[in-house]
Chains A and B, each alone.
Chain A
Amino acid sequence: MFDWRWDFTFEILPRLLLATVNTLMAAGAGYAIAVVLGLVLALAQRTPYRALTYAVRELVEFIRSTPLVLQIFFVFYVGPQFGIRLAPWTAGMIAIGLHYAAYLSEVYRGGLESVPKGQWEASLALNLSPARTYFRIIIPQALPPSLAGMGNYLVGIFKDTPMLSVIGVAELMHTANAIGSESYRFLEPYTLVGVIFLAISLPTAALIRVFEAWVRRQLGMS
């Protein structure tokens, strides 16, 4: 079929699967950064300090409206200009983590805003501390409506990891490019990369929906 070579396919498959591990690690690490940093960005917009709210809001808008690939270049190359050398992995994780933190902060913000005002008032009437109010009352309720968005961006970050290849992170795309330039065959490596992405992202998306329903049940909210 269209000059598809199965022997070559099986020759490069182990290499691509090994690179898939790197891709998954990059996605996982980037997501971990984004989940935590996103919460910081969301909560920073809820303090009484107007200037802080405004500054964080603009930062989030800026990150969301500029290309990730450009941000990856920026983080990777600007450091050395000022004497800070970042390894490709470090720069990549900073860029992708920050990018998705901006998106997740919007998800969290929506989730927090979806909690009725009465819940804050009841917490105050019971004299709960602000920390207790956030962690025991508000965040558990903000979580279920945030899960769909959080899941989408987990799959999203996974699909954006190929951009890390531009600064030499040895993930799937980088490996496929390397195979292509060694063998002058692009059909198999690029197609396999697509298949691997599909094979991971489609079941993950389905699993996330199951997980979302499970969390709702655990919290007694369905």
Chain B
Amino acid sequence: MSYLEFLAEFGPRFVDGSVVTAMQTVLAAALAIAIAVAMGLMRLSRSVPVRWFATVYIEIFRGTSLLVQLYWIFFVLPLFGISLEKFTAGFVAVGMNLGAYGAELVRGAILSVPKGQWEAALALNMSPAKRMIRVIFPQAFLNMLPPWGNLLIELLKGTALVSLISVADLMFESKQINSTTFLSAQAFGTALVIYYVMSRFVITPFMRWLERVMARKMGRA
């Protein structure tokens, strides 16, 4: 079977898988961003219990493996009465894991805003919330965009693990095709190239574009 014939026969399944992978990526990214902002801010809170909670969350999710977390959420959580359907369990696990890494980016970016900005906001008598939303966070946001680009690629790669709980993503489809055809190089090679294209030609250009737009908006371009 030539590679073209292979593609003609299995192309639609690669497309289906890619769509599921894209959906997992987008949903996991949304969750990761929400968690990252929440946990990152909580890490900077003045309240000790709040800070402590965020620290424990971050250390647990960064200290263990995504695969362990995924299995735990899918196989163990139902014992606690929380049953997630496999598609949901997939992006929840990936989002919670990468959110912990993102929290450290948020924290670092907020701390990197010069002290003078905090003082100037204080001098204008802004409330702490106003100060964070109007002054500090917009500047921090710009600073953390480049590392978020890398994190989103890690997130995309992380979604490949959801195939292990049978979510029919790109990884899952390529494994299925491999086990019926034994054309491993074609099956896995095609999937590798698709993941590469998604990272290098979708996520990276999107993040660069976002960096440019935000920089221009904030008068730094």
Which of B26-34, B43-51, B72-80 lines the interface with chain A? B72-80
Assess whether B191 is in contact with A190, with CB atoms less than 8 Å apart.
no
Interface locus among B8-16, B119-127, B134-142, B177-185? B177-185
Cross-chain contact A70 with B68 (CB below 8 angstroms): no
Give complex CA distance A160, B161 in Å. 11
* Residue of B whose beta carbon sits closest to that of A74: B188
Segment 170-199 of B: residues with Cβ below 8 Å from A: 171, 174-175, 178, 182-185, 188-189, 191-192, 195-196, 199
Whether B157 and A67, one on each chain, are in contact in the complex, defined by CB atoms closer than 8 angstroms, is yes
Q: Do B196 and A66 touch across chains, with their CB atoms under 8 A apart?
A: yes
Compute how far the CA of A71 lies from the CA of B171 in the bound complex, rounded to whole angstroms: 10
Q: Which of B68, B153, B157 has the most CB of A within 10 A?
A: B68
Contact with B along A43-74 (1 / 0, CB 8 A): 00000000000000000011011111111011
- Is the pair B65, A162 in contact by a Cβ cutoff of 8 Å? yes
Most chain A beta-carbon neighbours within 10 Å: one of B75, B153, B171, B189: B75
Residues of B with C-beta under 8 A to A62: 192, 196
Q: Does B67 contact A (CB under 8 A)?
A: yes
B75/A180 in contact, CB under 8 A = yes
Binding site of B, secondary structure by majority: helix, strand, loop or mixed? helix
* A interface, CB within 8 angstroms of B: 2-3, 61-62, 64-71, 73-74, 77-78, 80-82, 159-163, 165-166, 173, 176-177, 180, 186-187, 190-191, 193-194, 197-198, 201-202, 205
A-B pairs with beta carbons under 8 Å apart, 18 shown: A66-B192, A73-B178, A74-B184, A74-B185, A77-B188, A80-B184, A81-B182, A161-B65, A163-B161, A186-B71, A190-B68, A191-B72, A194-B60, A194-B72, A198-B59, A198-B60, A198-B64, A201-B63
Q: Which 3 A-B pairs have the closest CB atoms?
A: A65-B199, A67-B160, A77-B184
